[in-house]
Amino acid sequence: MIPLQQVWPDDLAALYRAKGYWRGETFSQLLRNRVEAQADAVAVVGMDQRWTYGELLAKAETAAAGFLALGLKPGDRVVVQLPNLPEFLSVIFGLFRAKLIPVYALPAHRSTEIVHFLRRAEASAYVVADRHEGFDYRALARAVQAEVPELRHVVVVGEAEEFASFDAFRADPASLPTEDADPSDVAFLQISGGSTGLSKLIPRTHDDYLYSVRESAVISKLSSSSVYLTALPAAHNFPMSSPGYLGALYVGATVVMSPSPSPDACFPLIEREGVTITGLVPPLALLWMQAAPRKTHDISSLEVLLVGGAKFLPEAARRVRPELGCTLQQVFGMAEGLVNYTRLDDPETLIVETQGRPISPDDEILIVDDAGAPVAEGEPGNLLTRGPYTIRAYHNEPAANARSFTDDGFYRTGDVVQRTPEGYLVVMGRATDHINRAGEKISAEEVEDHLLAHPAVFDAAVVSVPDDYLGERICAFVIPNGTAPRGVELKAWMRKRDIADFKVPDQIVFVEDFAVTAVGKVSRRELRAALRQRILEEE
């Protein structure tokens, strides 16, 4: 197995420790500390479950012992694909306790993506729920297991059928090793948005991630009386850590898991549980504002709404306070590290018009032109960053690492930003060819590769198009090979390729050629830019 690591230069690691950013804490310790302080406080609430901190720890320990009893060994990687159930937390804290490494997949992922994650992570186990939103994950597990024989264990939360049943884990936690993980070790693998090709794996350490979680909790003013609603899929970095359910657990607050982010699912939970804070992507924030006037539930307990994952336009941002009655906190973050927040007591103009400023005084921000030279203060440029919780490398991706990081360790975010005189960042656009569809990042190249596999497709170029609701939608330009198939057929065919549904193009435009007349060879990027321009002009 290729070892997991995340290495900072010695001098910076020493600085981050000396400044108290890296405190030598682990995820297991986080939960133990909370239990020592407040075992009987409510930690997690589901549709019909309610667990105290003491119960969450007990369940995590049973889970840890159960995973090890299957034959898994510390350091083994486990792909976790669960909806927002309380068990999401007992599974991951169980894995942390057993020093197993979760790899976070989204419920929307299908066999193409899961097989990729399993192989890249060299995972030996896969945890799924039985069913969610009408989809049977056991069938997916069967398909995946047929393709990846190295996958030795499938564990199911719910009706397990022929697989190992999580609910029936009975091993004695007394058998668990007492030694905790090394805080500088990789704790889990997060999934990148994937600007080129397939998603990459992001190794995050206990030390670096817990720093961002702890500070985020401070910045969002979480306390033990806060109630955090997990509305977005729990595997996403945003609801996990900005400040997310981990930030909430860190300070002893209550976490409510909603199976769906829709107002219909969330508003009743907000009323029932007195939710004080949650996080949404912009299209959902719009949906919530639309639903608010005719709401049948009292959502007045909500104090803070975080919005991020994609640009929240000022016109929409301005409506949050009057229409939802809470403070907006914009968040511009990335699973690779850097997270920016507007502060709760910032002037309304900063809250509405910017995407915030970094968590840490030691987050280094460079804004450079395409040649790598710093732009004049206040001008837009490419955002590069490094710091105490930003990765230095993806897992086992030499080519991508060479592209994505500078020689002195700055991560090239791919985002184009501008800095205000107050030091706040405004996201202006991006330099990479991915589509940010309602906060899900989709690689144009990956979608093109799928389209090119169709016998009637001669060539395909995939671009993002502005969309009132989604922020951006996926538009595919396709040159047919002979008779063009119908758009709906091509979409249906894409769905059958077992990929996440959010990657299927929203719009397909058949063209005879790409009509790019520039002399010489045109790069894919230039081609996509020209086609995007064409569709913008037509609209």
- The contact set with ligand J2J (CB under 6 A) reads 193, 237-238, 241-242, 308-311, 330-335, 339, 355, 413, 415, 427, 430, 436, 439, 441
For residues 166 and 238, which CB has a smaller minimum distance to ligand J2J in the complex?
238
Q: Is the peptide bond before 455 cis (omega within 30 degrees of 0)?
A: no
Which residue, 419 or 430, is less far from ligand J2J as judged by CB? 430
Residue in the shown chain whose Cβ atom is closest to ligand J2J: 333
Cα 428 to Cα 311, 354, 415: the distances in Å are 8, 10, 8
Nearer to ligand J2J, 60 or 217 (CB): 217
Compute the distance between CA of residue 333 and CA of residue 309 in angstroms, rounded to an integer.
Answer: 7
Which residue's CB is nearer to ligand J2J, number 333 or number 387?
333
The residue among 86 and 309 lying less far from ligand J2J, judged by its C-beta, is: 309
The H-or-E segment that residue 227 falls in is strand 227-230
**What is the closest distance, in whole angstroms, from the C-beta atom of residue 312 to ligand J2J in the complex?**
6
For residues 122-148, one letter each, b for 16 or more C-beta atoms within 10 angstroms of the residue's C-beta and e for the rest, the string is ebbbbbbbbebeeeebbebbeebbeeb
In whole angstroms, how close is the CB of 437 to ligand J2J at the nearest point? 11
For the chain, the residue count is 539
> Least CB distance from residue 415 to ligand J2J, whole Å?
5
Radius of gyration, CA atoms only, the chain: 23
To the nearest whole angstrom, how small is the minimum distance from the Cβ of residue 337 to ligand J2J? 9
Closer residue to ligand J2J, CB minimum distance, 138 or 386: 386
Concatenating the DSSP letter of every residue in 154-191 gives EEEES--TTSEEGGG----GGGS-SPPPPTTSEEEEEE
Shortest distance, CB of residue 347 to ligand J2J, whole angstroms? 18
- Residue 282 CB, nearest approach to ligand J2J (Å): 8
User: Are 205 and 187 in contact, with CB atoms under 8 Å apart?
Assistant: yes
**Shorter beta-carbon distance to ligand J2J: residue 238 or 394:** 238
In whole angstroms, what is the distance from residue 249 CA to residue 260 CA? Answer: 21
Smallest separation, CB 202 to ligand J2J (Å):
8
Report, in Å, the least distance between residue 211 CB and ligand J2J: 13
Burial class (CB in 10 A: 0-12, 13-18, 19+), 371: exposed
**Partner residues linked to 304 by β-bridges:** 277, 327
Rounded Cα distance, 201 and 117, in Å: 8
**Shortest separation between residue 201's beta carbon and ligand J2J, angstroms:** 12
Is 241 or 418 the residue whose CB approaches ligand J2J more closely? 241
Nearer to ligand J2J, 316 or 494 (CB): 316
Nearer to ligand J2J, 468 or 537 (CB): 468
Query: What is the C-alpha separation between 304 and 277, in angstroms, rounded?
Result: 5
Q: How many helices (H) and strands (E) does the chain have?
A: 18, 27
Using the structure block, give the residue that is written with the tokens 């910045």. 219
Q: How far is the CB of 220 from ligand J2J (least distance, A)?
A: 11
Nearest to 153 by CA among 61, 75, 79: 79
Q: Provide the edge-to-edge strand list for the sheet that holds 77-81.
A: 164-165, 153-157, 125-129, 77-81, 101-104, 186-191, 201-205
